[in-house]
Structure 1
């Protein structure tokens, strides 16, 4: 006789442990095991079922099946003898005859099956002999375990020493930042998830992480950091390639590259100040429509690399949404935040803590949202006709968000082949391991606010296709919290103020001017000026460029003297000529008017060297 495979499966055809004794692809054996529950009858013991190509010899074991797959030319009596031997082996190694017990002892069972069957033929052995063979000690194995344990002990010792060194460094760096509790948050940009669809009770989860680096002025330039790319070539793995050939999707390399990129970018950030805005949405949607719970929670966190850059305040603004409430860190000046929406330390003489970790400063929550506020809804309509179930999926997106990298995951019954997709707006992929059909749309905007997909599978229960999981990313949040400016403090002595507040600090308000220069180009001004002054849009920067060309100077912003000087210095760093003058002197020009316009208070380095 020739045994093709020996398996332990559940009543629904799920493979718990399976050993193949001939060259057979994974898709093939999974298809044979998934088809068995439909062929077996009820009320029978120690029997067999034949198909066109193979014979199933099986024995029920409580809620499981012990199954042999053989060719039709094998001797049925020898098949039953092999089955009886395996049925005695399973209770010896499995702590309980259920899915959990078999999965825990899967490797021991497979080793025992190998002792009982060799190259598809039964060995002349007994259960005690099999146990003895499996428990035989190996000197090489003992030596290998001793070596591995020695390496583990050495690694643990090294880890403890490193932890001690890190703790000492944290204590030394954290002396100036006591009182704040920095935390670590993920580095991914925009990640929103939703589970929904009519037909069953589901628990959707939305998360919208809007993470960015503020382009507001600070003691050093601030910019958006690009994603890291790994360009080192690597040799293909033959085992992974064989799995891909069988229909498996391999994601380990991609995930490792992503983790390395994020770790590298978090360990060596290029920006001195990073502001992170994150929102998480907790939503519960019913199958037949309606929302049970819609809760939005957000966080604003700050990361400062150097202590000298920590003497700042954050000017924020937000959309007036019903049910929006804020909470600030205990060391944040609540009166300043409630009155002017400025996030600043309660003690201005102390900087924000510096280091590689982010410090949460403000949290908020939005309650009372309804179904009309959902960014995306998905409808699923399965219908069975004869031996086929046709499923129609449709999505509808609201106008609030433009959604990127949308992936709709529909669970499917155990299938031998991929489903037949008849119509789709986008692309699809079948995950045979998890029995999931993934529908992907790269971008949902005004051109495709709705879309649909239709596919068919063998007859199945409509509840099999729920719950539906949807993942996407977006660049907006519900609260629309923004950091409009980073206000520097001179040694922590002066508080940040809006441009319409005067009479405090070192003097009244001053005007920051953009001076005409032959080296200025429209594209350069459009790019550099919004990085220095976040309230200036690229379109406004272009207008200021043309105004400076016509009049010799253009008004950029009005601020107190310290802030105006800072803006002027930052403009010079970005290659722009700048000057400041008191706001009260509306008609006066700075001294030193020349043919090129106003003489700047601070010249770029190239001019000063000349």
Structure 2
């Protein structure tokens, strides 16, 4: 079977979407499509195909349009019909309406989808879900572009800090030389005050702080005199509604941080873990080769129980510092989860990966790219499910009104498959004059008065605390005002359970040293 072209045309003969799959002239394809409306009456009412001297038209009416596949006469009519059925399933997936306007707006998406179904005139063995997955894959170039922008932002911050420090020192020295001890002291105080104000405005302007989408933190915040919402020491009682309040998890938090320090991790203690992003900052590579297994999780849980959406997208990326280490192949193994669908980079030898789980370039004499910021993607995968048992963390929220107050009981339950880190459960609250009264909590809490959000934080969820509860009281409010509840966390175990087993040198010698990083993080995790 050879498919010459696939098209969606109106009954007047106007081609709305047209994709050519073999080497034919444009005039030839346009002539074949233009002839179809005149031939459609000759096929009979019992058939949806028409044959001419050279080609066969296989078509299907779609409301006021026709979905048309043009093949040679030697092709198998059953395969032609199967290809047509597959394309007909894809059209409603991308076009919001089956008329000329809807098809026209989705034309490019439909062309890309047709390309995934038909390759060089032959039908690929794919499903609708796989086609959608392939068309939605992330762009490595886009990620690289974002990395370059983030690098420029960091450089600008460094320059700003350096210049501000130089100005402060020069002004202090000048005041000391001109006015002596007392006036110097007063001048220094004014300079420090103005510099502190400048730090606050710098950290809040321009949109490049921790919420800019690049996973950055504002270094100038350390100079700011703006309150951080940090937990007070044990010697002082926290004022109501401010700072972090420690519950049963305080001792556990301290032990967890101490264990990370013992393993060589760098812990920045002046930033509460509850304020960090779900995706942890990646340290710069130290070994010649770094392989990163990363999964991002999108989940929508129903407030009354059940699952609305569960989607996992994963990538395996390779970062090589020097070109001399780039002539390699990567051997991997996965947990064998049948719901995980893998897709290799176009330059990767698919047959080698299918048979031996080895990722290598189609041309073994060609090295992998080296010296690139975030590395190159070798493998992507996706997992979708409606089975609630695969959800790593479920949240139950029970608001109840009694008198003039609303009592809110919350609990979490974590799956034994995952140990979760830096868990933050953010509960939307109605506008309040003061912080909510938290009567019970396992972990820590913080109230964001500006956005009226209560953040419940647990540094680590493992076998010792797979479930936990929190209760708080606020003035009487509509139960729906506490939703949606947003959750973020990270984990060092993934759904695919993909691991790098070995790095194989292609030019002999000892296997090169490599680092493997594995992380799961939440992109959008809500109870709605």
Specify the TM-score bucket, using the shorter chain as the normaliser.
0.3 to 0.5
Relative contact order, CA 8 A, sep 6+: which one is greater?
2
Q: Normalized against structure 2, the TM-score is what?
A: 0.46
Larger Rg: 1
Q: TM-score, normalised by structure 1?
A: 0.40
